[in-house]
Amino acid sequence: MPSQPLASGLLPTIANAAADSGGAPAARRVRGLQKASVLARLFTRVARIAFRTRRNPLRALLALRRLHGVMQGRQWTTPTRRRRRIWTAQKFVFVSGRYFWDLFAPGWPSPAFDRCIERELERVDPLGRPPALNTVIVAITRRCPLRCEHCFEWGTLNHPEALTSAQLGEIVRRVQQRGTAQFIFSGGEPLRRFDDLLALCRLAADESDVWIQTAGVGLSADRARRLRDAGAAGISLSLDHCDAAEHDRFRGLPGSFATVVRAAQHAREAGLLVSLSLCPTRSFTTRENLDRYAGLAQSLGASFIQILEPKALGRYAGQDVALGTAERQCLEEFCERLNTDSAMRDYPSVEYMDWGARAFGCCGAGDRYAYVDTAGKLHACPFCPAPGPNVLEQDIHAAISVLQGAGCPASRRTSTCPG
């Protein structure tokens, strides 16, 4: 089991913080018979969508079978029975009237979930509509108070903003035409444009889930509640070490660790999901550190942990920062343990994007996700620097086709996509 994470002073006792403060109920785990009931109702909803959109019962059944086959194919790609299970829905959390099981799947029930299923069925049984972008990351600002060691926006950090509030709203409207089920608003530090962020949440939330990728700087209790009221589903907090001093050093701002701890508490009290985003360096990646990190994540009430390997981009450009085989194996084992071991059922689920890309191929470049930078240009992902077309300058479907045709330029050069 992970050890207890840190010295007492920095971590508040937050397990009952929401109840004590009168805030919204925090996310809670769903297990046993309740989980079985949720799965049954969820699958029933998927079937109803298939029958409603296909009309022909036989065609609907065939579409459901193909969709199930796609998911089974993902499971059977990995070499062992235990590893197959990491790609299935193992842990469910309930918050604000919805169930969540994957960081990149919209919560159910919701219009965003229905849109996601409709467009996934489109992939296996086309009705003439283009498959959706499941997730679009939109960088809304270049401003940020941190000087992170790995910052991929280093070349434009704190430069003048290129997009107005109206242009950001137009980007969201255009991207939603592609059936986008989830928006992630990032930066820079998106809380630096808080009023614009609220407006974007309100605009997107009717049809899509909304997450905020932040370092937590400026996330007060009041702001967390306002984000929830604007329709945000969750907050993804960047936390790169289980030791406060090491995290502060990595982020280039004293007090950054304590800021994340406070932000997680405010988000939970507001009824927002909490995810932690980890960039594991070589020196960090040991079983001991990962277990301490898991214990910290549990203490903070996180439902998910996202692992993003360091890339030789931005401030890391030209540096030898890629993880080796041993570090990757350590992270894979950590992912597997937290997602499948019954002893870890109270710990967050882990999303390890790079492992998934190596196992199944990248689903960026306009397939299931894309990235819009602070100038409005499309990218295959945040870690592919070559920009595609500008979202504000052409039809979104044409822009996505251009991005899909170009693919990831880095993968053509190196045979492995850095993202």
* 119 in the same domain as 136: no
**Rounded average pLDDT over 228-238:** 97
Q: In the structure encoding, which two tokens stand for residue 49, read together? A: 């969508």
- Which of 95, 124, 153 is at the close of a domain? 124
CA distance 10 to 21: 19
Confidence class for position 409, pLDDT limits 50, 70, 90: low
C-alpha torsion angle, residues 54, 58, 62, 67 (rounded to 10):
40
User: 85: domain range?
Assistant: 28-124
Does residue 268 belong to any structural domain of this protein?
yes
* 171 in the same domain as 148: yes
Measured CA to CA in angstroms, residue 163 lies from 196, 197, 199, 239, 379 at distances of 11, 13, 14, 28, 17
Per cent of the chain over pLDDT 90 is 59
Q: Is the pLDDT of residue 199 over 50?
A: yes
CA distance 29 to 43: 19
Does residue 11 belong to any structural domain of this protein?
no
Q: Residue 109, preceding bond cis, omega within 30 degrees?
A: yes
* 229 in the same domain as 113: no
Q: In what order do the strands lie in the sheet with 28-30?
A: 28-30, 92-95, 98-100
Confidence class for position 388, pLDDT limits 50, 70, 90: confident
Does residue 4 belong to any structural domain of this protein?
no
Does residue 12 belong to any structural domain of this protein?
no
* 272 in the same domain as 149: yes
Confidence class for position 72, pLDDT limits 50, 70, 90: low
Q: What is the pLDDT of residue 27?
A: 82
Q: What is the pLDDT of residue 263?
A: 97
Q: What is the pLDDT of residue 364?
A: 66
The domain total for the chain is 2
Does residue 49 belong to any structural domain of this protein?
yes
Segment of 25-29, 127-131, 203-207, 310-314 carrying the highest mean pLDDT = 203-207
Check residues 419 and 257 and name the one with the higher pLDDT. 257
Show the CA angle centred on residue 327, arms to residues 321 and 331, nearest 5°.
115
- Which of 107, 124, 141 is at the close of a domain? 124
Task: State pLDDT tens for residues 79-131.
Answer: 444 444 444 457 899 998 999 999 988 999 999 999 899 988 998 899 888 77
- Which of 79, 96, 124 is at the close of a domain? 124
CA distance 327 to 324: 5
Does residue 266 belong to any structural domain of this protein?
yes
Q: Could you tell me the CATH number of the domain that includes residue 362?
A: 3.20.20.70
Question: Global pTM?
Answer: 0.88
Helix (H) or strand (E) holding 203: helix 194-205
Task: State pLDDT tens for residues 236-253.
Answer: 999 999 999 999 999 999
Q: Is the pLDDT of residue 11 over 50?
A: no
CA distance 378 to 302: 30
Q: What are phi and psi of 50, to 5 degrees?
A: -65, -45
Confidence class for position 313, pLDDT limits 50, 70, 90: confident
Per cent of the chain over pLDDT 70 is 85
Confidence class for position 13, pLDDT limits 50, 70, 90: very low
Task: Please report, for the chain, how many H helices and E strands are present, in that order.
Answer: 15, 12
| Three-state secondary structure call for residue 390 | strand
